[in-house]
């Protein structure tokens, strides 16, 4: 028999029950027991659902009230000093204070840092190691959950983040507490955890080491061997799980570690399966991740079986099957998407459906394809309809892609010449001031959008309301004395959704939520087909806004890479082709804006950096197509039209070449928190175009002082010639309130004026 299992299930619940319960708990509306009960109910529901689907082993320990990496820190007693934890069991509110800085009880303190989990849109809390970090088993949660599942008759496979990945994901400000140096101290606690799990009857334990798909420094590589030799003595069988990519140079290492089984990602890296099977010792289990845990497409079961059947021949019962990675990254249940059309729906599988797919594969492997005939027929039918659908394959889009030539990804003249005509046309002062696009999304705006969506107000009434908001934002900006204005994005719910809703080729779900961090969930659109722009998307708003002022009005678009990165993207063609389609649609929008008299157009690419592949070798290829797509979107305009881009992060050192390659006339970036030091990368590279380094942090409600901003800009001018500097905030203002926006921007304009006088 083939063994089936899962690496992790989404914990938020099909209606985001966990989000609502934790937020109620934080607001003091429900007590601890009620929150914990919601957690228990969700676990039970999800375990039973996986059991009913027929999985042989079900993950326990993948559930978390906030974040699974934080849970590990808590389990090992890694609580930074500032939370005043005296040792012993870590309580719920201490955990929440580490996550969010505050909780219903306990003194507030600065929250732990949050960062992206590999190349996903999930964010984990970074474990913080200090000189006096001592590891000690400090939480019973994992064991309690194992007991809980056992009592329900669930075939339990506890899940742990492996010691090396745990340390790798952590950080330390103190070199004496460098993560790897802590390994010796940490391993006994892992030993203890494994003992306890064995005591609770666990046979297999899943131990995740996703860092095995990264470029690992030699010391870390080496540490794997000693670590797993030590853990070998534990009285359980370890299934070492790797995912998100190929093992590549870590393949021999992973295949030879003294564990009972190895899980590999056969969706992202199908090419590695044969080599791993060859390398694996004859007594070890090979778990083949065959169902995509990172995307929402239905598995082509017949194709998967074509690959699995020979493996089954070769490995016999040592073949296990599972999703490629934890299903945390996909929505819970397609069953509730009652508004998707039947055709599109038939192409999809969410977490609930994915465990059923794993089960169907098992049926077919163990009892022949006839045994899973219904599942196979449905899968084949979906594959065929998707391959032939007119919505996916639009000849006009294909023809246009074929006609793309090198000229289309280049502006008419180099920046130095463009700058001359742009400056003549715009006639801006030195240190021109602008903002990043959005102004406060007030309750009034949100209420109007809700009313409109619910049919309580007409499209006309909604439009009027938005125009009123835009007019207000324009008047305010004129009053503050800003130089390049924006319309304020009142009409946009979200910077991707707004465009996706107007483009053909994108679809939206009702409940397709995935956890982004803590209680925050996102609902990525589905980019399923060839992208067509049936009509202009922003032109009327921009034209309206420009008519209200003599100052230049900046048009505002979301760039092709970001449109891709924040969606579930079709998997039947390379991502770069899909990106090119979006770029072509945006190119038409850009030229339409130009034709409507808009002289400055910003194309936001906040997600460019997060699209970077996990392996360094793949960076160049990605950055080349990403930059080319951006330029295709941007380059249909005349020299005198000024193209801006915006990115809200502050790490440019390793991608500065690609940033220059975008050839945007102006780039606005986040810098306020880095004290302008990040401009060193631009300086060292001799970055040739204009830059607007953010002079204040929009994430904080604090009003920035004039002197503070002047000082920052002077630091900027030490690195970039003043003639190429702009003055702007770090990012959009949609999350702020008008009073603070007003104070902050008035101060910012005053700062710019002082800088001009100082020249």
Nearer to Zn ion among residue 67 and residue 604 (C-beta): 604
Decide: is 556 part of the binding site for ligand GLN (CB under 6 A): yes
Q: Which partner, Zn ion, ligand GLN, none, binds residue 556 by CB below 5 to 8 Å per kind?
A: ligand GLN
Q: Does residue 604 belong to the site contacting ligand GLN (CB under 6 A)?
A: yes
In angstroms and rounded to an integer, the radius of gyration of the C-alpha atoms of the chain is 27
Name every residue whose Cβ is closer than 8 Å to that of residue 251 and which is 6 or more positions away in sequence. Answer: 272, 275, 276, 279
- Are the C-beta atoms of residues 483 and 432 closer than 8 Å to each other? yes
By CB under 5 A, tell whether 58 contacts Zn ion. Answer: no
Q: Which is nearer to ligand GLN, 127 or 437 (CB)?
A: 437
Round to whole Å and give the CA distance between 226 and 495.
48
Measured CA to CA, the distance from residue 190 to residue 234 in angstroms comes to: 9
| d(C-alpha 277, C-alpha 254), whole Å | 12
Identify which of residues 489 and 639 has a Cβ nearer to ligand GLN in the complex: 489
Residues 646-675 that bind ligand GLN (CB under 6 A): 646, 648
Q: Which residue is nearest to ligand GLN (CB)?
A: 732
313 touches 275 (CB < 8 A): no
The Cα–Cα gap between 731 and 26 comes to: 28
Q: Which is nearer to ligand GLN, 90 or 436 (CB)?
A: 436
Locate 711 and state its tokens: 């000082």
- The region that residue 262 occupies, defined by phi over 0 for left and psi between -120 and 50 for alpha, beta otherwise, is beta
In this structure, what are the phi and psi dihedrals at residue 558, rounded to the nearest 5 degrees?
Answer: -95, 130
Single out the catalytic residue among 221, 423, 683, 699. 699
Q: What are the backbone dihedrals phi and psi of residue 465, each rounded to the nearest 5 degrees, phi first?
A: -60, -45
User: Do residues 309 and 290 touch, judged by C-beta distance below 8 A?
Assistant: no
606 CB-side CA count, 13 A: 14
Is residue 59 a contact partner of residue 8, using CB atoms and an 8 Å limit? yes
- Looking at 308, 731, 733, 748, which residue binds Zn ion (CB under 5 A)? 731
Q: How far is the CB of 637 from ligand GLN (least distance, A)?
A: 19
Per the annotation, where are the binding residues? 16-19, 116, 121, 436-438, 489, 520-521, 566, 604, 610, 646, 648, 661, 670, 731
50 in helix, strand or coil? helix
Which residue in the set 22, 299, 434, 438 belongs to the binding site for ligand GLN (CB under 6 A)? 438
What dihedral angle (degrees, nearest 10) is formed by the CA atoms of 389, 395, 398, 400?
Answer: -150
Using CB under 6 A, pick the residue from 159, 564, 695, 731 that binds ligand GLN.
Answer: 731
Which residue is it, tokens 């003091």?
A: 28
Q: What pairing do the DSSP bridges indicate for beta strands 128-129 and 171-172?
A: parallel
Least distance in Å: CB of 482 to Zn ion? 17
On whether the CB atoms of residues 556 and 528 are closer than 8 A, the answer is: no
Q: Which stretch binds ligand GLN (CB under 6 A): 36-44, 326-334, 354-362, 434-442?
A: 434-442
Residues 492-531 that bind ligand GLN (CB under 6 A): 495
Phi, psi (rounded to 5 degrees) for 556: -135, 115
Judged by CB under 6 A, does residue 436 bind ligand GLN?
A: yes
Element (H, E) at 207: strand 204-208
Are 704 and 712 in contact by the 8 Å Cβ rule? The answer is no
Residue among 96 and 726 whose Cβ is closer to ligand GLN: 726
The correct pick among 734, 745, 748, 755 for binding ligand GLN (CB under 6 A) is 734
Please give the annotated binding residues for 5-methyltetrahydropteroyltri-L-glutamate, written as ranges: 16-19, 116, 121, 520-521, 566, 610
Q: Choose which of 10, 490, 732, 749 interacts with ligand GLN (CB under 6 A).
A: 732
Among Zn ion, ligand GLN, none, what does residue 495 contact (CB within 5–8 Å per kind)? ligand GLN
Integer Cα distance of 710 and 695 in angstroms: 9
- Least CB distance from residue 608 to Zn ion, whole Å? 11
Contacts with Zn ion, 646-675, as mask; x by CB under 5 A: --x---------------------------
For residue 209, the partner it binds in ligand GLN, Zn ion, none, with Cβ less than 5 to 8 A by kind, is none
User: With CB under 5 A as the contact rule, which of the stretches 237-245, 356-364, 495-503, 729-737 interacts with Zn ion?
Assistant: 729-737
Residues numbered 681-710 forming contacts with ligand GLN, rule: CB under 6 A: none
Residue 310 has a CB neighbour count (10 Å cut-off) of 12
699 assigned to active site: yes
User: Which of helix, strand or coil describes residue 420?
Assistant: helix
Note whether 213 and 243 are within 8 A (CB).
yes
DSSP reduced 3-state for 313 = helix
* DSSP string computed for 15-48: T-HHHHHHHHHHTTSS-HHHHHHHHHHHHHHHHH
Residue nearest to Zn ion (CB): 648
From ligand GLN, Zn ion, none, which one binds at residue 552 (CB under 5 to 8 Å depending on kind)? none
Question: Could you tell me if 30 and 24 are in contact, meaning their C-beta atoms sit under 8 angstroms apart?
Answer: yes
The 3-state DSSP class for residue 554 equals: strand
Q: Which stretch binds ligand GLN (CB under 6 A): 244-252, 339-347, 430-438, 461-469?
A: 430-438
> Does 264 sit near Zn ion (CB under 5 A)?
no
Q: How many whole angstroms separate alpha carbon 740 and alpha carbon 725?
A: 24
- Residues contacting 617, CB < 8 A, separation 6+: none
- Smallest separation, CB 214 to Zn ion (Å): 27
Cβ proximity to ligand GLN, 437 vs 500, nearer residue: 437
Annotated binding site for Zn(2+): 646, 648, 661, 670, 731
- CB-based contacts of 573: which residues, under 8 Å, 6+ apart? none
Nearest residue (CB) to ligand GLN, 20 versus 738: 738
Give least dist CB 439 to ligand GLN, A: 8
| Alpha helix stretches (DSSP H) within 113-256 | 141-151, 163-169, 183-199, 218-231, 251-256
Question: Stretches 22-30, 465-473, 586-594, 728-736: which one binds ligand GLN (CB under 6 A)?
Answer: 728-736
Q: Quick one: 305 or 473, whose CB is closer to ligand GLN? A: 473
Q: How many CB atoms lie within 10 A of CB 718?
A: 11
Task: In angstroms, give the least distance from the CB of 695 to ligand GLN.
Answer: 15
**Site mask for Zn ion (CB under 5 A), range 604-643, x = bound:** --x-------------------------------------
Asked if 557 interacts with Zn ion (CB under 5 A), we say no
CB of 524 to ligand GLN, least distance (A): 15
660 binds, among Zn ion, ligand GLN, none (CB under 5 to 8 A by kind): none
* Choices 201-209, 396-404, 546-554, 600-608 (CB under 5 A): range interacting with Zn ion: 600-608
Cα 179 vs. chain centroid, distance in angstroms?
25
Kindly give, in sequence order, each residue whose CB lies less than 8 Å from that of residue 189, ignoring residues fewer than 6 positions away: 76, 135, 136, 137
Instruction: Please report the sign of the dihedral spanned by the C-alpha atoms of residue 131, residue 136, residue 139, residue 143.
Output: positive
Q: How far is the CB of 482 from ligand GLN (least distance, A)?
A: 14
The nearest distance, CB 644 to ligand GLN, in angstroms, is 10
- Annotated binding-site residue numbers for L-methionine: 436-438, 489, 604
Site string for ligand GLN, 631-650 (x = CB under 6 A): ---------------x-x--
Q: Which does 438 bind (CB under 5 to 8 A by kind): ligand GLN, Zn ion, none?
A: ligand GLN
Assess contact for 726 and 419: CB atoms under 8 A: no
Q: Are 227 and 163 in contact (CB under 8 A)?
A: yes
- State the minimum distance, in angstroms, from the CB of residue 705 to ligand GLN: 23
Any contact of residue 92 with ligand GLN (CB under 6 A)? no
Contact footprint for ligand GLN (CB under 6 A): 436-438, 489, 495, 556, 604, 606, 646, 648, 731-732, 734
Active site residues: 699
Contact footprint for Zn ion (CB under 5 A): 606, 648, 731
């Amino acid at each position: 028999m083939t063994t089936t299992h899962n690496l992790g299930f989404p914990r938020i619940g099909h209606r985001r029950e966990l989000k609502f319960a934790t937020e109620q708990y934080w607001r003091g509306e429900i007590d601890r027991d009620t929150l914990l009960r919601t957690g228990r109910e969700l676990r039970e529901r999800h375990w039973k659902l996986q059991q009913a689907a027929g999985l042989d082993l079900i993950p326990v320990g993948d559930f978390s009230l906030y974040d699974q990496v934080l849970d590990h820190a808590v389990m090992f007693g890694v609580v930074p000093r500032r939370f005043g934890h005296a040792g012993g069991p870590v309580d719920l509110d201490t955990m929440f204070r580490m996550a969010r800085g505050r909780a219903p009880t306990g003194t507030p303190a600065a929250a732990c840092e949050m960062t992206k989990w590999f190349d996903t849109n999930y964010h984990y809390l970074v474990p913080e190691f200090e000189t006096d970090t001592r590891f000690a088993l400090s939480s019973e949660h994992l064991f309690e959950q194992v007991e809980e599942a056992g009592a329900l008759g669930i075939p339990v496979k506890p899940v742990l983040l492996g010691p090396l990945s745990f340390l790798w994901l952590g950080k330390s400000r103190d070199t004496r507490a460098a993560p790897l140096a802590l390994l010796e101290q940490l391993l006994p606690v892992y030993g203890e955890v494994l003992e306890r799990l064995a005591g609770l009857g666990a046979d297999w334990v899943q131990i995740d080491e996703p860092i095995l798909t990264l470029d690992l420094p030699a010391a870390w590589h080496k540490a794997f061997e000693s670590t797993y030799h030590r853990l070998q003595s534990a009285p359980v069988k370890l299934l070492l799980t790797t995912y998100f990519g190929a093992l590549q140079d870590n393949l021999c290492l992973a295949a030879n570690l003294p564990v009972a089984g190895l899980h590999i990602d056969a969706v992202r890296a199908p090419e590695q399966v044969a080599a791993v099977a060859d390398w694996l010792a004859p007594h070890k289990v090979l778990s083949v991740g065959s169902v995509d845990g990172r995307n929402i497409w239905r598995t082509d079961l017949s194709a998967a079986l074509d690959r699995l059947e020979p493996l089954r021949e070769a490995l016999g019962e040592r073949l296990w099957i599972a999703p490629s990675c934890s299903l945390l990254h996909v929505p819970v249940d397609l069953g509730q998407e009652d508004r998707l059309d039947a055709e599109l729906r038939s192409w999809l599988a969410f977490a609930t459906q994915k465990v059923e797919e794993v089960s169907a594969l098992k049926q077919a492997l163990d009892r022949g394809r006839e045994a899973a005939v219904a599942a196979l027929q449905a899968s084949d039918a979906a594959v065929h309809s998707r391959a032939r659908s007119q919505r996916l394959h639009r000849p006009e889009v294909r023809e246009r892609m074929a006609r793309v030539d090198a000229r289309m990804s280049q502006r008419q003249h180099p920046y130095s010449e463009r700058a001359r005509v742009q400056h003549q046309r715009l006639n801006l002062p030195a240190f021109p001031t602008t903002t990043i696009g959005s102004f406060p999304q007030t309750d009034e705006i949100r209420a109007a959008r809700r009313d409109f969506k619910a049919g309580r107000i007409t499209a006309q009434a909604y439009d009027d309301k938005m125009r009123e908001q835009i007019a207000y934002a324009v008047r305010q900006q004129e009053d503050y004395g800003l130089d390049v204005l924006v319309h304020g994005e009142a009409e946009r719910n979200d910077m991707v959704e707004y465009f996706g809703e107007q483009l053909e080729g994108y679809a939206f779900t009702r409940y397709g939520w995935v956890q982004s961090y803590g209680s925050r969930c996102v609902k990525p659109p589905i980019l399923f087909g060839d992208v067509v722009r049936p009509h202009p998307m922003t032109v009327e708003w921009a034209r309206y806004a420009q008519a209200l002022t003599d100052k230049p009005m900046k048009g505002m678009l979301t760039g092709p890479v970001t449109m891709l990165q924040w969606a579930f993207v079709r998997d039947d063609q390379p991502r770069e082709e899909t990106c090119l389609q979006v770029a072509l649609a945006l190119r038409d929008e850009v030229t339409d804006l130009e034709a409507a008299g808009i002289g400055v157009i910003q194309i936001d690419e906040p997600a460019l950096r997060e699209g970077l592949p996990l392996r360094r070798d793949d960076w160049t290829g990605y950055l080349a197509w990403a930059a080319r797509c951006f330029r295709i979107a941007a380059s249909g305009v005349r020299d005198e039209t000024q193209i801006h881009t915006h990115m809200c992060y502050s790490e440019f050192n390793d991608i500065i070449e690609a940033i220059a390659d975008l050839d945007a006339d102006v780039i606005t970036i986040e810098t306020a928190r880095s004290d302008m030091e990040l401009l060193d990368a631009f300086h060292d590279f001799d970055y040739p175009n204009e830059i607007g380094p953010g002079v204040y942090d929009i994430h904080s409600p604090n009003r920035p002082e004039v002197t503070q901003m002047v000082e920052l800009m002077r630091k900027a001018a030490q690195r970039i010639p003043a003639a190429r500097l702009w003055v702007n905030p770090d990012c959009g203002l949609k999350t702020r309130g008008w009073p603070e926006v007003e104070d902050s921007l008035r101060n910012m304009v005053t700062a710019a004026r002082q800088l001009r006088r100082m020249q």
